[in-house]
Structure 1
Amino acid sequence: MKISQEDVQHVANLARLRLSDEELVTMTGQLDTILSYVEKLDELDTTGVSPTTHVFPLSNVFREDIVRPSLEQQEALENGPKTDEDSFLVPKII
């Protein structure tokens, strides 16, 4: 596939990009290379190949949501450097 500089300039305008003449030549060459590679991939026979999002089959990867006992409030507050009766005290940050 051959992409023209006018096509590249059109895409650049849509993306609100200003390209110098040198950048336009460079981008045209790079986009032509990319599109040629994609065109080559299009030649592959992919019938019978299902689309995948992962290489390995994954099912639910999350652990079960099990209720477990947690620390009592006073026990947790004992670990803080500064506390009042029911919360941690932290420095004010603006």
Structure 2
Amino acid sequence: MIMRVLGEGQFEVAEKDLDRLNQLDDDLLQAVEADDEEAFKAALGSLLAAVREVGTPVPADSLEPSDLILPDAEASLDQVRELLRAEGDGLIPGIPE
């Protein structure tokens, strides 16, 4: 799966890492729903750090389409809330059973 982090670039993430990313995405969703700015910043930072850790950067000159787009680390709680409304159940889709 190709994930784009706005302002940073694309990362190729293996399916085996999606469970971990989904848990971090759930933490982000809970922080947004609680309107907890401190928890939101921590959760967003953790999610983006994990994408960078498990993902392989896609070369900047590659024309690969992104499967999903994540906000940058400076995104506001309101901006992410809007993204979550558009996406539904979080920023990262679950793996079909």
TM-score higher than 0.5 here?
A: no
Whose radius of gyration is greater, 1 or 2?
Answer: 1
- Superposition TM-score, scaled by structure 1 size: 0.26
Instruction: Normalising by structure 2, report the TM-score.
Output: 0.26
Q: Comparing both structures, which one devotes a greater share of its residues to helix?
A: 2
Q: Considering fraction of residues, name the structure with more strand.
A: 2
